[in-house]
Structure 1
Amino acid sequence: MTATTAQSTPPDSTEAAYARACRLIETELGGRRLAPEPRTGLDDLTRTRRHKIALFNAIEFHCCLSSRLEAHRVVKAMYPYLDPHGFSTDAALTAAWNILEPDAHTWPKKVQNERRRLTDDRVTRALVEANTAVADHA
């Protein structure tokens, strides 16, 4: 003999399918939800866009730039080289360096090293600020 449970409340049409399934499992089986609702591609695109905007604003604030266009170029150059969690890599810092200091190859080595260290610190600080801004909205 099988037992069924009658639904006591009418289904909420605005409730997501995942949430309905979890509620049903919780009701029928006495289970509990272990994982959050799965992310969709649109969620990832929204997060990426929010991260790029936050990074643009932070780069513009922390780095000495001649224009907003330069900040856009830095973000565009860095973004493919960031790791999946939005953290800096050597390639991302090099991409930013190439945009921020295009004539660095003409400088003495000591000056290059000092400026590179300063630029890396500023870009890293901007990236941390952008990551924090995005994490606050998650």
Structure 2
Amino acid sequence: MTATTAQSAPSDDTESTYARACRLIETELGGRRLAPEPRTWLDDLAHTRRHKTAFITAVWNTCFPSSVAEACWVVEAVYPHLNPDGRCTDAALTAAWNILEPNAGTWPEQLQNERRRFTNNCVTRALAEANTAVADHA
């Protein structure tokens, strides 16, 4: 008995190893792909950069920082405190509060509470916008 390999289409050099293996399995066994190509560390890095850029833009548009640099500082301070699903935690909101309102300790308590709620709403809304922007362009 002789085994032959059916070639469905010529292989091009831009096709990934994963895609070539899937094509061979599809051709030889009549199978189909159940999962997309695995992500690489470079894909994750690109996704993180897109998300941070969208988050900076959203912070700039919704939280009223004093400068774009301050919006960047907010994102860098908040990012390590996001939960695994990319949602705000209390630590993330506190980090944003400390950058956006550095002199809040001198304010009356009622004003601090009002401004903190406002800041929390702004950061939460900015994060939701960033998540949506990245999901829409994935």
Paired with 1:36 and 1:8, the residues of 2 have a C-alpha distance of 20
In the alignment, what sits opposite 2:55? Answer: 55
Cα 1:98–1:13 shift into 2, 3 Å: same
How far apart are 1:86 and its partner, in Å?
Answer: 2.3
- Is contact 2:8–2:27 with CA below 8 Å preserved after alignment? no
Paired with 2:50 and 2:85, the residues of 1 have a C-alpha distance of 14
In the alignment, what sits opposite 1:99? Answer: 99
| TM-score normalised per structure 1 | 0.92
Paired with 1:9 and 1:31, the residues of 2 have a C-alpha distance of 16
Moved more, 114-123 or 104-113: 104-113
In the alignment, what sits opposite 2:20? Answer: 20
Moved more, 47-56 or 102-111: 102-111
Q: Which runs of 5+ in 2 are unaligned?
A: none
Matched to 2:60, the amino acid is: E
Q: CA RMSD in A?
A: 1.5
In the alignment, what sits opposite 2:118? Answer: 118
Matched to 2:48, the amino acid is: T
Q: Which runs of 5+ in 1 are unaligned?
A: none
Cα 1:126–1:28 shift into 2, 3 Å: same
Residues matched between the structures, number: 138
In the alignment, what sits opposite 1:7? Answer: 7
Cα 1:2–1:46 shift into 2, 3 Å: same
How far apart are 1:110 and its partner, in Å?
Answer: 1.8
Instruction: Output one character per residue of 1:14-49: Cα deviation in whole Å (capped at 9) or x when no partner.
Output: 211111100111111111100000001111111111
Instruction: Using the aligned pairs only, state the percent identity.
Output: 72
In the alignment, what sits opposite 1:133? Answer: 133
Matched to 2:26, the amino acid is: E
Cα 1:2–1:83 shift into 2, 3 Å: farther
In the alignment, what sits opposite 2:84? Answer: 84
| TM-score normalised per structure 2 | 0.92
Cα 1:9–1:49 shift into 2, 3 Å: closer
Find the residue that maps to 2:6 and give its secondary structure. Answer: coil
